[in-house]
Amino acid sequence: MKIHYLLQQHVGAPAIAVVSCGDRVSRGQLLAEPNVLGANIHASVSGTVENITGESIVVAGEERQSNSFIPFDEPSDYFEAIREAGIVGAGGAGFPTAVKIKSLKNPKIIIANGTECEPMLQHNIKFMQTRPDVLIRGLKYLQEMTGAPIALIVLKEKNKAVARDLLNLCSQEKRIRIKLLPDRYPAGDERVIVRELVGLELAPGELPTESGLLIQNVETIKRIVEAIELRKPFIDKDITVAGRVKDTPKGKPYMDVPLGTPIGHFIEASGGFEEPHGEIIIGGPFTGKTATFSSPITKTTGGIMVGMPFPGGRKKMGVLACECGAQEERLQDIAREMGAEEIITAKCKRMEEVNGRFRCNKPGICPGQAETVMEFKKKGVDALLTGSCDE
């Protein structure tokens, strides 16, 4: 199978290849290094490098593969292990984890984000259910590295049973606590977590690390443990497949799948498409991006969602964008897919411009959008598309 490693799977610049076409590579071997801000990229399979472009490295995987890997060299400390492993935020953000940890000021609380914000995703909760010991060890490593006195594991209320198991497991851990958040989107947004757990309202654009709070997705913590204990690079990813697939429409988690594998492989493993089907989305239904059958799994891939075909027949569509839900460009793409000849766009009134980007000033505390809807009506809009959480 052809495995595609995108050179940009992280916040920062595309990584720079350190292998050449024709090279034989082994699982775990370094393929590309960061260019200033970024992360190492390693081979998730053994095979031969077939093509290198400015965007990706293609490896023709050998028929027989194993789970073993080449560990990276003994690191000098935990930071070095995380950096060497090429770990980035696995929840979708993709920010290089070692840089994020280093940026923490006056460490107070480490927060393991297990809220799995987008509907239908299940791989984070499966990890917490099956390997809570790994999550707890990861939090202890992060506390040791930063000196943060408290660690919190955050889940949604619907996952109370898993929270109870974690609570039992942590009964002797004085410095680790479990917290539940409402089953509401965008409960997993970092600013919502900070507000709900700590009572601190971060300004749009203000980072939790500036207030002593380090928030890490639970899978990122799993990869940190692998890097520290096994010297394992970030080469496997947990994902969920859901939607218009035959066997698992309500979603199925696949754990530790090799990075770079085409997502179509997992659609087929889930029984193939249920017809009629619409677009494939990588990420979640709210914030995901349109993908193709051959798009590769990356370090930030969470969900592979197959949708229904879009209904057509709309002429003039209104798009109401939300920072935390489906964004303006995504909604405009959908409107075009629905055959809209004219698209009128508005933003939620809580969005404000900060450093050239529109951000929500109170995520999850959403206003009514009636005024905007009335404006759309006056302009002759015959259908409204919105990514706002409450409307």
Query: Is 12 or 285 the residue whose CB approaches ligand SF4 more closely?
Result: 285
Q: Is 366 in the site for ligand SF4 (CB under 6 A)?
A: yes
Q: How far is the CB of 155 from ligand SF4 (least distance, A)?
A: 20
Question: Strands 280-282 and 2-6, how do they pair?
Answer: unpaired
Query: Is 85 or 366 the residue whose CB approaches ligand SF4 more closely?
Result: 366
Cβ–Cβ under 8 Å, residues 22 and 52: no
List the one residue from 116, 190, 226, 323 that touches ligand SF4 (CB under 6 A): 323
Q: Is 196 in the site for ligand SF4 (CB under 6 A)?
A: no
Query: Is 306 or 351 the residue whose CB approaches ligand SF4 more closely?
Result: 351
Q: Interacting stretch for ligand SF4, rule CB under 6 A, among 138-146, 166-174, 273-281, 320-328?
A: 320-328
Q: Is 187 in the site for ligand SF4 (CB under 6 A)?
A: no
**Cis bond leading into 276, ω under 30°?**
yes
Query: Is 107 or 283 the residue whose CB approaches ligand SF4 more closely?
Result: 283
Query: Is 195 or 277 the residue whose CB approaches ligand SF4 more closely?
Result: 195
Query: Is 138 or 284 the residue whose CB approaches ligand SF4 more closely?
Result: 284
Q: Supply angle C-alpha 204, 209, 211, rounded to 5.
A: 80
Query: Is 30 or 322 the residue whose CB approaches ligand SF4 more closely?
Result: 322
Residue 51 burial (CB count, 10 A): 12
Q: Long-range contacts made by residues 286-293, C-beta under 8 angstroms, separation at least 24? A: 286/118, 286/119, 286/185, 286/186, 286/324, 286/325, 286/326, 286/387, 287/92, 287/118, 287/324, 287/325, 287/326, 287/327, 287/330, 288/118, 288/330, 289/330, 290/333, 291/263, 293/262, 293/263, 293/264, 293/267
Q: Is 146 in the site for ligand SF4 (CB under 6 A)?
A: no
Q: Is 384 in the site for ligand SF4 (CB under 6 A)?
A: no
List the one residue from 364, 372, 381, 385 that touches ligand SF4 (CB under 6 A): 364
Residue in the block written with tokens 């409960």: 187
Q: How many residues bind ligand SF4 (CB under 6 A)?
A: 14
Longest dimension (CA), the chain: 66
Cβ–Cβ under 8 Å, residues 130 and 89: no
d(CA 25, CA 23): 6
Q: Is 343 in the site for ligand SF4 (CB under 6 A)?
A: no
Q: How far is the CB of 384 from ligand SF4 (least distance, A)?
A: 14
Cβ–Cβ under 8 Å, residues 12 and 36: yes
Query: Is 134 or 351 the residue whose CB approaches ligand SF4 more closely?
Result: 351
List the one residue from 23, 325, 330, 343 that touches ligand SF4 (CB under 6 A): 325
Cβ–Cβ under 8 Å, residues 13 and 53: no
| Helix (DSSP H) and strand (DSSP E) numbers for the chain | 10, 21
Q: Interacting stretch for ligand SF4, rule CB under 6 A, among 62-70, 168-176, 308-316, 347-355?
A: 347-355
**CA–CA distance from 183 to each of 156, 200, 226, 242, 365 (Å)?**
5, 20, 30, 19, 14
Residue in the block written with tokens 């198991």: 165
* Of the candidates 237, 195, 240, the residue with the CA atom closest to the CA atom of residue 220: 237
Q: Is 357 in the site for ligand SF4 (CB under 6 A)?
A: no
Q: Is 379 in the site for ligand SF4 (CB under 6 A)?
A: no
d(CA 233, CA 40): 9
Q: Is 350 in the site for ligand SF4 (CB under 6 A)?
A: yes
Q: Interacting stretch for ligand SF4, rule CB under 6 A, among 172-180, 240-248, 287-295, 363-371?
A: 363-371
Q: How far is the CB of 342 from ligand SF4 (least distance, A)?
A: 24
Q: For residue 211, how far is the Cα from the chain centroid?
A: 23
Q: Is 324 in the site for ligand SF4 (CB under 6 A)?
A: yes
Task: Write out the binding residues for ligand SF4, residues 252-311 only, by CB under 6 A.
Answer: none
List the one residue from 43, 85, 142, 348 that touches ligand SF4 (CB under 6 A): 348
Chain contacts with ligand SF4 (rule: CB under 6 A): 322-325, 348, 350-351, 360, 362-364, 366, 388-389
